[in-house]
Amino acid sequence: MPVTTAAAAPSATVTLPQDFGALLREDPEIADVLVGELARQSETLQLTAAENFTSPAVLAALGSPLANKYAEGYPGARHHGGCEQADAAERIAIRRATALFGAEHANVQPHSGSSAVLAAYAALLRPGDTVLAMGLPYGGHLTHGSPANFSGRWFEFIGYGVDSESGLIDYDQVRALARTHRPKAIVSGSISYPRHPDHELFREICDEVGAYLIADSAHPMGLIAGGAAPNPVPYADVVCATTHKVLRGPRGGMILCGAELAERIDRAVFPFTQGGAQMHTVAAKAVAFGEAAAPAFAAYAHHVVNHARVLAAGLEAEGFDVTTGGTDTHLIVADPAPLGVDGPTARTRLAAAGIVLDTCALPYGDARGIRLGTAAVTTQGMDDKDMARLAVLMGSAVREEGGVAEEVREMAAQHPPYSG
């Protein structure tokens, strides 16, 4: 449905991925915001590592009548009547998730990745327990012990780090810390570590000290689905993830585990940490799992990784210092200091040129770098040549050279996220 909006650029027309006719008639103020956001996504390049573009089918499920349904509980055991179709949607999502990742059990109700981690901790730990996880300065998530988060307030977190030269996880340190502190659980995973964790080695360390292994796989879950990253399911007691990011589904979370922990995980999600499931989101998760099981998604996942490697090499050629010397995933972390600026300044200059990304902590020091990912631009159909050109444009933007914004808009126009 073509719509011209005041929020877009002058005379700009964008194609909506779903019919917003009713919203345009009944609430043009919010409709203008939504169309304006689509225009922003269509006219700039989205390199935020945690973002992607869902399919029109996922968006359709999110806007479906299941948004009206209250469905506390689980299929066949709800606290509300009229849940026949809600039960069917959730069973489909569970069936597809367990098949996609080779898990014995899946809980698809968590509202977010953080909700999934909270439920995993609630199932396995008690307040005051010791947990070993990647330290926040090295890429750990807020749920890995931040004092501002429930995790840092309720549990005793010990942070492991990375080697100061290679930037890779120091597994000798992980083992030594585990032996010293005897944690109840060890968490693998991060928000800005661009290499694959060694799931088998983490399992070995956990077994040595009698700890649970919780894999926080929010970022690589889509790569895992597409066979472009190793699967933690055979090694971890519990796997927590998001359903957006590379997986390209709706914003939400999920938990995978073995049959022996299934009841504990389910009770930790509902009724302990959440109320009613968002059934429209559960249905959208089912759609995304179905899409991720198709051969085309496997090709997509491998393209995401290849594009990240090309972009990382291009950024190094432009003068950025890329942590770990590259990437195995969709993630790139780079220090723009060799170009004479810090991460926040680089992000601001890139945003002015229409290139959207994040900053993140850099190992060993207080400096911040930039964090970016290739999931969204790959969904848009960009290729290796586009990634090489994008690296040049990023270098030019940080150096404040002219003409970058125009080239970025042209590149975005050639690869619209939604069309037809």
Across the range 139-157, mean pLDDT stands at 95
For residue range 371-397, list pLDDT tens digits in order.
999 999 999 999 999 999 999 999 999
Identify the residue whose tokens are 């109840």.
184
Sorting pLDDT into bands at 50, 70 and 90, what band is 364?
confident
Nearest in space to 203 (alpha carbons), one of 171, 229, 162: 171
Residues designated as active site: 70, 72, 216, 242, 245, 251
Is 90 exceeded by the pLDDT of residue 172? yes
Q: Which residues contact 43 (CB under 8 A, 6 or more apart)?
A: 8, 9, 12, 354, 409, 412, 413
Is 80 exceeded by the pLDDT of residue 10? no
For residue range 75-125, list pLDDT tens digits in order.
999 999 999 999 999 999 999 999 999 999 999 999 999 999 999 999 999
* The pLDDT value given to residue 15: 52
Helix axes 171-181, 199-209, angle to 10 degrees: 20
**Secondary structure string (H, E, C) spanning 310-375:** HHHHHHHHCCCEEHHHCCCCCEEEEECHHHCCCHHHHHHHHHHCCEECEEEECCCCCCEEEEEECH
What percent of the chain clears pLDDT 70, i.e. is strictly above it?
95
Sorting pLDDT into bands at 50, 70 and 90, what band is 23?
confident
* The pLDDT value given to residue 2: 38
What percent of the chain clears pLDDT 90, i.e. is strictly above it?
91
Is 60 exceeded by the pLDDT of residue 281? yes
* The pLDDT value given to residue 1: 39
Structure tokens at 255: 């938990």
Q: Between these two residues, 20 and 117, which has the higher pLDDT value?
A: 117
Structure tokens at 258: 């073995």
* The pLDDT value given to residue 19: 66
* The pLDDT value given to residue 407: 98
3-state secondary structure (DSSP) of residue 403: coil
* The pLDDT value given to residue 16: 52
